[in-house]
Structures are given as structure tokens and as C-alpha cells.
Amino acid sequence: MSAPVVTAIQRALKNIGAHGDTDIFPFPFERYLITEDPDACEGILTAVHRDFEEALASHPPPTIEALSPVGYNGFRRATLIEPFWNAYYLVVVAALRRSHETCRPDENMAARSAQLS
């Protein structure tokens, strides 16, 4: 497995252990598993990455959908993704981060394009 993916797995697990994986739902108990045994969790995420199609077919990501309050008078639809799948999605984003950052235009380019339009 490539070094960026291994680093991304470690970063994702460290981030979830420190901050959780949701900002609107209570932390799931899997957060404690990630904190207490990160090596086992790294093995699970590595196996998912190694054979993504098989993992997706055998264990599709379950979700919980709910209404979440927004202020005093409103609600919004909120979805909680199963924590290990959510961790895997974070791994993919973290692994792609460097290649996407090189494609991002600098601030001067954005300012110039806004002036031209």
C-alpha cells in the first residue's frame, strides 16, 4: 500500500479519536475503539482499501437519517454514516488532498478572474 494512504489512515484515525466524526449527533461508541486500538482499526481500513469493491458489496455503509433541530423553529435532514465507512471516506479525502491542492488556483488568479468578468 502506498505511503500516502497509510499516512492518511493514521491521520483519519487520529482526527476521529480527537474530534469524533460528527458535529450534530452524539459520538458513537466506535470512537472509543478507534482511540483504544488504532492498530486494529488501521487494519480494517487497510482491508477496505485493498479490496474496496468486495467491502462495499459485503458490508454496504449503513446510515441513520433523522431530523435535527435548527434554531427554535426549524429542522434539517441529517445523516449519520457508519463510523468505519465515515473514517474510510476521510482517508480517501486526506489521500487526495495534495493532488487537489496543486490544482487550486492562487488567490491572485481568483481576484484577476473576478475583475475580468
Return the pLDDT at 55. 94
Q: How far apart are CA 46 and CA 100, in angstroms?
A: 22
Percent of the chain with pLDDT over 90: 30
49-59 mean pLDDT: 94
Q: What are the structural domain ranges in the chain?
A: 3-116
6-24 mean pLDDT: 86
pTM value is: 0.75
Identify the residue with better confidence: 52 or 100: 52
95-117 mean pLDDT: 63
- The candidate with the shortest Cα–Cα distance to 81, out of 20, 35, 39, 33, is 20
Return the pLDDT at 117. 43
Identify the residue with better confidence: 108 or 35: 35
- The candidate with the shortest Cα–Cα distance to 77, out of 86, 88, 90, 68, is 68
The 3-state DSSP composition of the chain as helix, strand, coil percent (nearest 5) reads 65, 15, 20
Identify the residue with better confidence: 24 or 65: 65
